[in-house]
Amino acid sequence: MLRLLLIDDSQEDRLLIAYELRREFPDLQVEEVVEAEGFSRALAAGNFDLVITDYQIRWTDGLTVLREIKSRYPNCPVLMFTGSGNQEIAVEAMKAGLDDYIIKSPKHYIRLPVAIRSCLQRAESQQRVLRLEMRLQSLLNRLNVGVFRATLEGRILEGNAAFLRLLGVNSLQEALSLNWQGLFSNLEAGLYPLNQEREVHLRRSDGRFIWLSVSQSLNNTEAEPVIEGLIEDITDRKLAQEALKQARDELEIRVVERTQELQQTNAQLLKEMQEREQAQQDVRDREERYRQLVELSPDAIFVQCDGKFIFVNDATVHLFGAKSQDELINRPVLDTVHPDYQEIFSERIRQLREERKPVQRREEKFLRLDGTVIDVEVAAAPFTYQEKLAAQVVVRDISDAVAAATQRKKAEAELRRALEKERELSHFKSRFITTISHEYRTPLTVIQSSAELLERYEHRWSKEKKLIHFQRIIASTRHLTNLVNDVLFIGQAEMKRLEFNPALLNLEQFCLGLVEELRSSIGNQTTLISNVPSNCTDTYLDEKLVRQILTNLLSNAIKYSPNGGTVRFDLECRKGVATFRIQDSGIGIPQEDLSQLFESFYRAGNVGTVPGTGLGLAIVKKCVDLHGGQITVESEVGLGTTFTVMLPFSLPSSTVENGARPL
């Protein structure tokens, strides 16, 4: 929508202008001003994108209008459309900031849309250029790389803050007073190459020598040639080159060993994945057999949702004396329940819906469609159908076979429990394969690509570039190793093979050392504050499990905290219980995710693209349970999360034999 402020005391001219412009701008909104008070109100409100004014106005003139608008809204385009001006007025108006000047005549009305579009485009371009210049200047001042411009004689013209800092001066004026010829070479314009990169051993203004990487080029686009360049401090890199050379052979050997180990691990994992895929196929086959069993079952099996039949097998059709399944589908289930049992049946449906627990077999009376009363046994279980809560109901006619019916009901209950266990196992295996496959793909891709690049370009790359790829391989290998360890830990826990081996532990020194390890790994991106008292020296805990607990909780707190955030770690030892509290200021955990937080492979819905497997908190819970401790969590989305872990100091003699306790 284009908002136009039209200042003209001729009604006919205003109508013609608005008519012509609406042909080009259908969504035009025009505010007309015909007197001084209206102009003052419009000027105060500022609800316009463009102004068209006449020069000769009863209460003022166009130059006054132009100056008042430009003084308040300097970027607003202003056009003067007048028949009473002259060349001198046009020149003066242009000097005052007028964007266009059009003679008011019938043949010039058609010029208005073109002039307006041109003015708007010009104003938008000016705004973009201004914003770009501001962003570029801000970016230059934030760079850690020095940026400069200099004459061919070596006189510095411009330099950003990083440039002055690298030279050891406080201002450009101070830099001009010193000789920096070492930065430049081949200063004659005819000899200077278009682009040049070199390393310079330079003495700063404070006398200290540093190594600089200088990248400079000749710019001939201005009035006289100038040198434009970048400088970067590479002193540490130069000092590290020798150390890198010595470490190269050792690193290559380690890479080969780790790669072989990773290949073996990957082969084992692929084998396990194939076995799990086969297990999933077995589950699908069993589900198909179950469907066939339902169809062929002599018992009536139906699914009800919202009080109506939504699925029935052939035995249900026969039981209620219907002609086909369609005669029962969408029919109220209570129509087939004997009046004496309708209240009981309704209460059972309520329990299924609210408590989500299976209803055990009970004897009741149902009605056939012709009104005949039949004695039946009824069992039901909660069931999800199209994201709605439904119930799967099994009905057996016991009119002639009460004893036989009891035995069959027991078999059906066991069958449902077995099916539910198979479904849970299938779901767990699916989540396991999906998560592990996703987490392995990225580091494996990094290792493969870096190894191929090193093999292909080893003779052409610099030592620094090779080191980057070696470090990527090592980091990816470490990530895969940690992932395998987490999976093996969860596997041992699920198979109940984890051991609890407590021993005397100086918890104070242990926690202080762990905090320092984490601080050295996170750099300056997150602040880690710890409060470890001196009375936690003699404790009886499993050091390996305690490390798992604290490392996972602190790593999560750091990972989900924003850059510059704070993570707090507090320890308290009191009355034979060690209480650990880890508090962050991160993204928080939604309330609906808290109940499943400690399940394997479960991740909260708001983690976004933050990497993870969902195993960390499951491992923490297993370790806390082994100690006979407790873990609680308090969280609010957007404000942060606090985990509290309470572990007893001493090992209860009544629950531990030979220094070990299985999960």
Mind spelling out the 3-state secondary structure of 201-243? EEECCCCCEEEEEEEEEEECCCCCCEEEEEEEECHHHHHHHHH
Predicted local distance difference test score (pLDDT) of residue 214: 87
Give SS3 for 577. strand
- Token pair for residue 653? 């003699």
Give the alpha-carbon dihedral of 630, 631, 632, 633, to 10 degrees. Answer: 180
Q: Alpha-carbon distance 113 to 119, whole Å?
A: 10
Predicted local distance difference test score (pLDDT) of residue 245: 79
Position 525, amino acid: Q
Please name every residue paired with 394 in a beta bridge, in sequence order, or none if there are none: 301, 379
Q: Alpha-carbon distance 140 to 134, whole Å?
A: 10
For 430, half-sphere exposure in the C-beta direction (CA atoms, 13 angstrom radius) is 11
Do residues 631 and 560 touch, judged by C-beta distance below 8 A? Answer: no
Predicted local distance difference test score (pLDDT) of residue 458: 76
Q: Where in the chain is the domain with CATH 3.40.50.2300?
A: 2-137
Do residues 102 and 81 touch, judged by C-beta distance below 8 A? Answer: yes
Residues 6 or more apart from 146 whose CB is under 8 A from it?
A: 159, 160, 162, 163, 164, 165, 166, 167, 230, 231, 232
Surface-to-core class of residue 557, CB atoms within 10 Å of its CB (0-12 exposed, 13-18 middle, 19+ buried): buried
Q: How is domain 143-233 classified at the CATH fold level?
A: Beta-Lactamase (3.30.450)
C-beta atoms surrounding 418 within 10 Å:
12
Cα 258 to Cα 445, 452, 491: the distances in Å are 15, 16, 23
Q: Alpha-carbon distance 279 to 287, whole Å?
A: 12
Q: Where in the chain is the domain with CATH 3.30.565.10?
A: 503-648
Cα 326 to Cα 85, 311, 314, 384, 655: the distances in Å are 88, 10, 11, 22, 60
Q: How is domain 2-137 classified at the CATH fold level?
A: Rossmann fold (3.40.50)
Strand extents, DSSP E, 234-372: 300-305, 308-312, 359-367
Predicted local distance difference test score (pLDDT) of residue 603: 77
For domain 303-400, the question of CATH label 3.30.450.20 is answered with yes
C-beta atoms surrounding 661 within 10 Å:
19
C-beta atoms surrounding 107 within 10 Å:
7
Give SS3 for 586. coil
Binned average pLDDT, 10 residues per bin, the chain of 663 residues = 91 88 90 93 92 91 92 91 81 87 82 87 80 67 77 82 85 78 58 68 85 84 80 84 79 84 86 87 78 80 88 89 90 90 85 81 88 89 81 84 59 71 56 56 71 77 78 70 67 70 90 86 76 87 90 86 85 91 89 82 72 78 90 90 89 43 37
Q: How is domain 251-296+405-495 classified at the CATH fold level?
A: Helix Hairpins (1.10.287)
Predicted local distance difference test score (pLDDT) of residue 35: 93
Nearest alpha-carbon partner for 230 in 205, 199, 192, 206: 199
Q: Alpha-carbon distance 33 to 93, whole Å?
A: 20
Q: Alpha-carbon distance 301 to 311, whole Å?
A: 8
Sign of CA dihedral 530, 534, 536, 537: positive
- Token pair for residue 447? 């290792």
Q: Alpha-carbon distance 140 to 159, whole Å?
A: 9
Predicted local distance difference test score (pLDDT) of residue 581: 95
- Token pair for residue 51? 């102004």
Alpha helices, H only, 25-145: 36-45, 62-72, 87-95, 111-142
Predicted local distance difference test score (pLDDT) of residue 643: 94
Do residues 249 and 263 touch, judged by C-beta distance below 8 A? Answer: no
Q: Alpha-carbon distance 177 to 205, whole Å?
A: 10
Surface-to-core class of residue 79, CB atoms within 10 Å of its CB (0-12 exposed, 13-18 middle, 19+ buried): buried
Q: Where in the chain is the domain with CATH 3.30.450.20?
A: 143-233, 303-400
What is the CATH architecture assignment of 503-648? Answer: 2-Layer Sandwich (3.30)
Residues 6 or more apart from 441 whose CB is under 8 A from it?
A: none
C-beta atoms surrounding 617 within 10 Å:
23
- The two beta strands, 503-505 and 156-159, are unpaired
Nearest alpha-carbon partner for 7 in 47, 41, 54, 40: 54
Which residues in 1-22 are b (16+ Cβ under 10 Å) and which e? ebebbbbbbbeebbebbeeebe
The DSSP H or E segment spanning 467 is helix 463-494
Q: Where in the chain is the domain with CATH 1.10.287.130?
A: 251-296+405-495
Predicted local distance difference test score (pLDDT) of residue 476: 64
Nearest alpha-carbon partner for 54 in 44, 65, 38, 69: 65
